[in-house]
Chains A and B, each alone.
Chain A
């Protein structure tokens, strides 16, 4: 037990030192200043920086990580690690972003941070070649497997329309809080994959989704009672065609964007509109958004929200 405590302390200290050395302490300081009497920010959109800088800025605007992660919590960070692709090909969430989120969780007092995804390609190749395993481990996270049914537990989804239950990974179910970290991509089946679609990586049998109405099932799984405390959409690089894998660099656009919100429908709507600038993508093509809104998961009406738009 002592050893574990020591390691945790070490990880936190390490994270703190890292942040300090990179000027991240200013951000933490701003957090305290910023969380005054202003109207709470619903969604932050950042453009023009590297993933780490954009995230730091965004989380600061949101009120700092400690607003979402409390001391001693077990946190799970769920990126998209679906494919055996290198970061340049943008098939997976940016590894630096994942690393930074893990560090900030520890800085906010998380006792442990777990990272996983139910991959499509061979899980070990995905974990390794995406760079996420290394980045997350370097930041002190535990990277756990998700390739076996026995890691999942059945949960009921009373609010789901088409999907009434699903087997969800224990790392989500056993966490105190989880953070959804998708990457924005074109998707041959769902047209777009963002935060809602990223839920498919926490469930075991995805064929059911495809079999019983993909767009409704995506919305249904998001009714899982344990909601993510944050949705962080990585749009640093975006697969615009041949998604969700992309097959070469010609499918990838350097978009340098990042979106963050607690409202999963809002953040996906924002990201979808952002994507619409690369190629035509009417929101009704991504009908999981409307389906999710109908289930009361959030709003597609961005005008109602307090949005911070930041260009770096």
Chain B
């Protein structure tokens, strides 16, 4: 019964959050499912959503790691993988009790925490189950979903039905794709072989909630008088946390899957309040040293120590007037620093951007900002009145913007290089940049004869990239946007009043 409830809840959460990432066509109206990302532990932590954190921890203190069981999409993903492995495996799948790797868990959480405190979120971004899952959907599943859409489009359009429209499929950043693929393969492999090993070894949320889970009020308890040590429960435990010989359960690792409950022939297991406190029921901590762990620790520390160094390598170019010096952070990010401190690279914003202006950064922000969203203008430019990315961000790395605020948010400023412009080099009309400029920060002013040439007013520029996107000059564009490391407020342009102009005649 409990297991059924768990499975239904898990699949519901899992399906919906996956669809939230896939839904490019806006089938989910009015941000109705955005909360699914916001109630995830790490996003709530980054966004300082105290209430959500308290609820998650409170639920864990009451019932154990329900969050890990049902709310976390990566958790459910692993359950699905191990379910498939169980159904397809030649031999009957049996889990066995394993020792808790508590020291490793704490060290890993420590490293991640040090990273977060020193404002490097890349490790957190890599290990956070929600963000890692988001990237898997965004980088791997989404192209599959889009292919399906495009296939349907082809079929329907051939019958003159335009319900579907084509969507271009491309990999915006190879590194982010590779990381997602490695995550998928790595966690997938662990889940295939060892169930929830990732959750109980590497996952920082698993470790933190594991600590709370130890003290949970209601938990699975073994009635020692009924138990006959048959160890069936142990073989069913995908968290490998039941020691049937000792009749103990490591509650720091139990994810409340309830698979054991139904398996017990003696009905010796119950999800219930304890008569005596649960302390001391935990397995002993491993104290033996492990060179692998040490090496890992050392690399981790070395990695963190080198971070300031890597952070410094974030200038793209210098000297060339026609090249962007710094990568542009999305509107709502406030500053590159704010983005880097808060973003865990779940790529929800990238998925939601209707004009493909956002892509995962490679080293443009420095290694510390790897996979975080940056603006680029190859596929499109930022729609003047669109605020989607800022609205969906669950971590507060992008602060929600109203349309009015967006109109005055300057993520960068226009830079025009006359020597490269076709009006100058070819003596022909162009004006594509000014045409695309929503604020007329780029206007065409008289040049020679009937020719007009761009003139810029960076104060009123919002940095949307329309000019850079459409500029026909290659290999280097005659006009581009230079990032504001700290976003500025654009000066509002003079809207003026509608004039009454009476045209009485045709003029010919």
Docked Cα-Cα span, A244 to B440, in Å, equals 11
- The contact of B428 among A122, A213, A284, by CB within 8 Å, is A213
Answer yes or no: B419 CB below 8 A from chain A CBs: no
Judging by beta carbons under 8 Å apart, are A150 and B166 in contact? yes
1/0 contact string of B366-395 vs chain A (CB within 8 Å) = 000000000000001001111000000000
**Given the complex, which residues of A lie within 8 Å of B501, measured CB to CB?**
240, 253-255, 278
Judging by beta carbons under 8 Å apart, are A122 and B497 in contact? no
Judging by beta carbons under 8 Å apart, are A208 and B472 in contact? yes
The contact size tier of chain A is 35 or more
In chain A, positions 101-128 with a C-beta closer than 8 Å to chain B are: 112, 120-122, 124-125
1/0 contact string of A272-292 vs chain B (CB within 8 Å) = 011111100010110100000
Judging by beta carbons under 8 Å apart, are B429 and A148 in contact? no
- The contact of B434 among A142, A188, A249, by CB within 8 Å, is A188
Chain B interface, >50% SS class? loop
**Given the complex, which residues of B lie within 8 Å of A285, measured CB to CB?**
450
In chain B, positions 351-369 with a C-beta closer than 8 Å to chain A are: 354-355
Docked Cα-Cα span, A24 to B410, in Å, equals 51
Judging by beta carbons under 8 Å apart, are B429 and A190 in contact? yes
Judging by beta carbons under 8 Å apart, are A213 and B426 in contact? yes
**Given the complex, which residues of A lie within 8 Å of B290, measured CB to CB?**
none
Docked Cα-Cα span, A255 to B472, in Å, equals 33
Judging by beta carbons under 8 Å apart, are A187 and B503 in contact? no
Answer yes or no: A302 CB below 8 A from chain B CBs: yes
- Give A215's nearest chain B residue, CB to CB: B429
Q: In the complex, how many angstroms separate the beta carbon of A273 from the nearest chain B beta carbon?
A: 4
**Given the complex, which residues of A lie within 8 Å of B497, measured CB to CB?**
249-250
Judging by beta carbons under 8 Å apart, are B162 and A145 in contact? yes
Answer yes or no: A242 CB below 8 A from chain B CBs: yes
Docked Cα-Cα span, A187 to B435, in Å, equals 7
**Given the complex, which residues of B lie within 8 Å of A206, measured CB to CB?**
432, 470
Answer yes or no: B493 CB below 8 A from chain A CBs: yes
Q: In the complex, how many angstroms separate the beta carbon of A48 from the nearest chain B beta carbon?
A: 10
- The contact of A214 among B380, B431, B499, by CB within 8 Å, is B431
Judging by beta carbons under 8 Å apart, are A207 and B432 in contact? yes
Judging by beta carbons under 8 Å apart, are B470 and A247 in contact? no
**Size of the chain B interface, CB-CB below 8 angstroms:** 48
Docked Cα-Cα span, A193 to B495, in Å, equals 23
Judging by beta carbons under 8 Å apart, are A249 and B429 in contact? no
In chain B, positions 464-478 with a C-beta closer than 8 Å to chain A are: 466, 470-473
**Given the complex, which residues of B lie within 8 Å of A287, measured CB to CB?**
429, 450
Judging by beta carbons under 8 Å apart, are B429 and A191 in contact? yes
**Given the complex, which residues of B lie within 8 Å of A207, measured CB to CB?**
432, 470-472
Docked Cα-Cα span, A254 to B499, in Å, equals 9
Answer yes or no: A80 CB below 8 A from chain B CBs: no
Docked Cα-Cα span, A150 to B153, in Å, equals 12
Judging by beta carbons under 8 Å apart, are A188 and B438 in contact? no
Answer yes or no: B498 CB below 8 A from chain A CBs: yes
**Given the complex, which residues of A lie within 8 Å of B437, measured CB to CB?**
245
Answer yes or no: A252 CB below 8 A from chain B CBs: yes
Answer yes or no: B444 CB below 8 A from chain A CBs: yes
Given contacts A151-B166, A211-B422, contact A245 B438 (CB under 8 A): yes
- The contact of A145 among B166, B355, B436, B473, by CB within 8 Å, is B166
**Given the complex, which residues of B lie within 8 Å of A245, measured CB to CB?**
435-438
Judging by beta carbons under 8 Å apart, are B508 and A189 in contact? no
Judging by beta carbons under 8 Å apart, are A277 and B439 in contact? no
Answer yes or no: B506 CB below 8 A from chain A CBs: yes
Q: In the complex, how many angstroms separate the beta carbon of A87 from the nearest chain B beta carbon?
A: 14
Given contacts A47-B506, A189-B444, contact A250 B498 (CB under 8 A): yes
- Give B505's nearest chain A residue, CB to CB: A277
Judging by beta carbons under 8 Å apart, are A250 and B496 in contact? yes
Q: In the complex, how many angstroms separate the beta carbon of B384 from the nearest chain A beta carbon?
A: 7
Answer yes or no: B168 CB below 8 A from chain A CBs: yes
Docked Cα-Cα span, A212 to B440, in Å, equals 24
Docked Cα-Cα span, A171 to B472, in Å, equals 26
Answer yes or no: B284 CB below 8 A from chain A CBs: no
Judging by beta carbons under 8 Å apart, are A189 and B383 in contact? no
Given contacts A248-B495, A250-B495, A273-B507, contact A122 B355 (CB under 8 A): yes
Docked Cα-Cα span, A309 to B506, in Å, equals 8
Docked Cα-Cα span, A188 to B508, in Å, equals 24
Which of B428, B444, B472, B497 has the most C-beta atoms of chain A within 10 angstroms of its own C-beta? B428
Answer yes or no: B452 CB below 8 A from chain A CBs: yes
1/0 contact string of B432-470 vs chain A (CB within 8 Å) = 101111111001100000101000000000000010001
- The contact of B383 among A45, A125, A187, A213, by CB within 8 Å, is A125
26 A-B contact pairs sorted by A residue (CB < 8 Å): A84-B385, A120-B466, A121-B383, A125-B385, A147-B166, A148-B166, A148-B167, A187-B431, A188-B435, A211-B430, A211-B472, A214-B428, A240-B501, A243-B435, A245-B438, A248-B495, A249-B495, A249-B496, A249-B497, A257-B506, A269-B508, A270-B508, A275-B507, A278-B503, A282-B450, A285-B450
Q: Which residues of B come within 8 Å of A, CB atoms?
A: 160, 162, 165-168, 354-355, 380, 383-386, 422, 426, 428-432, 434-440, 443-444, 450, 452, 466, 470-473, 493, 495-499, 501, 503, 505-508
With A147-B165, A189-B434 known, 16 other A-B pairs at CB within 8 A are A122-B355, A187-B431, A188-B452, A207-B471, A210-B431, A210-B472, A248-B493, A249-B495, A250-B499, A252-B498, A255-B501, A273-B506, A274-B508, A275-B507, A284-B450, A287-B450
